[in-house]
Amino acid sequence: MNTSNSDCVVIGIDPGIRNTGWGIIRVEGNNLHHLCHGVIQTEDNGSDALRLNFIANSLDELFKNDLSKQLKNILSDRNSGTIIVQPEIKNKKFDKDFLVKLSTSLAYLVGNPNFDSMSGKYYARFEVKHIDQSDSYLRKAYANLDLHTDGTYVKEKTDWLIMTKMEEQNVSGGESVILHLDDWEYLDELSKDPIGRQNFLWSSPKSKNVNYKVEHPVFSQDKEGRPIISYIDQFPEPKNMQQGLFLQKLSDALEESKNKIIFPLPVGSTIFSNNYFWLHGRKAFKEHSGLSRELLRIRGTFFH
């Protein structure tokens, strides 16, 4: 709730799944004013999932049930659609387990996470390292991860995506890349191409643990008739030469875009994005034998 650089309200949350402390202060120039504080206590016999849901709901109630609404409005708004959460890592409790809980709490404020077959949980954690023998494009450190959306190869809807940077070591390069669909120079041309509205066949490698294929078009439209996209260059199986040529043109046009946003994401930060009109990717890393980055992914649907 910033009003200016020198006048703002700061919300602090002390991590803890049993007891979550919170406090709110007002900053006016060099003066700090206490507004309120408290502790959210969860049931001792509750599961982690129930506790996280209770914490998320309690935080929402503190803000008069407006926090959940505002997050969903930002994510649903075609003019925004992305939130970057960048906490200050000063508390000794701020570890990878807390980042899992924080990311999960954010998810439950706006909707329901989808089951992730790759991990067998409602989130997935994976590493990018110097040497990788897997079949996953996510783990190929020294190649660009081209722009794409998530959930292209599963039956569940994927309205939104959370990506959290858990940890990294010996990293140079690997910047985040995002592109808003409406900023893409070739949107009008390719979204109106009849081939892009045909059903394509989408599959996935064995590491995804998805034993079926799905069919859907690359481009469709939202309730207002605006184009939305479901695409990744790794998984489509074109049915004919026309579809193959369209996919190649689409891939080239996305990667050639001058309107991509490229930026480093600090450790502990989360990108929370609408999955229909924001595409995401990653630049290649510079080679290092000790390279390591761990990420967390949650994808899901909005409450309706």
pLDDT confidence of residue 6: 42
Task: Write the DSSP string, 17-85.
Answer: SSEEEEEEEEEETTEEEEEEEEEEE--TTS-HHHHHHHHHHHHHHHTTT-HHHHHHHHHH-TT--EEEE
The pTM for the full model equals 0.83
Question: Which single residue is written with the structure tokens 């004013």?
Answer: 33
Say whether pLDDT at 19 is over 70. Answer: yes
Q: Which of 83-97, 98-112, 118-132, 165-179 has the lowest mean pLDDT?
A: 83-97
Instruction: Label residue 93 by pLDDT band (50, 70, 90).
Output: low
Mean of pLDDT values over 195-205: 96
Hey, how many other C-beta atoms are within 10 angstroms of the C-beta on 287?
Answer: 11
pLDDT confidence of residue 11: 65
Q: Where are the chain's structural domains? A: 1-41, 55-302
Residue 78 φ then ψ, to 5°:
-60, -25
Question: Which two three-digit tokens encode residue 292?
Answer: 């390591």
pLDDT confidence of residue 232: 95
Helix axes 48-62, 96-110, angle to 10 degrees: 60
Mean of pLDDT values over 219-243: 96
Question: Which two three-digit tokens encode residue 275?
Answer: 């999955």
pLDDT confidence of residue 4: 37
Instruction: Label residue 8 by pLDDT band (50, 70, 90).
Output: low
Q: What is the pLDDT of residues 38-76, one digit of tens each?
A: 888 888 777 777 777 787 777 777 767 677 887 888 899
pLDDT confidence of residue 5: 39
Contacts of 252 (CB under 8 A, 6+ apart): none
Q: What is the pLDDT of residues 244-279, one digit of tens each?
A: 999 999 999 999 999 999 999 999 999 999 999 999
Q: Which CATH superfamily is domain 55-302 in?
A: Clavaminate synthase-like (3.60.130.10)
Question: Which two three-digit tokens encode residue 163?
Answer: 């990506």
pLDDT confidence of residue 3: 34
Q: Of residues 199 and 85, which shows the higher confidence score?
A: 199
Q: Which helix (H) or strand (E) holds 300?
A: strand 292-302
* CB-neighbour burial class of residue 282 (10 A; exposed 0-12, middle 13-18, buried 19+): buried
Instruction: Label residue 289 by pLDDT band (50, 70, 90).
Output: very high
Give residue 136's region: left, alpha or beta (phi > 0; psi -120 to 50): beta
Say whether pLDDT at 15 is over 90. Answer: no
Which residue from 281, 265, 293 is spatially nearest to 171, judged by alpha carbons? Answer: 293
Strand boundaries in 91-249, DSSP class E: 111-113, 124-129, 145-148, 160-169, 176-180, 200-202, 214-216, 219-221, 227-229, 236-237
pLDDT confidence of residue 133: 85
Question: Which two three-digit tokens encode residue 224?
Answer: 């207002």
Mean of pLDDT values over 210-233: 97
Q: What is the pLDDT of residues 143-186, one digit of tens each?
A: 999 999 999 999 999 999 999 999 999 999 999 999 999 999 99
pLDDT confidence of residue 40: 84
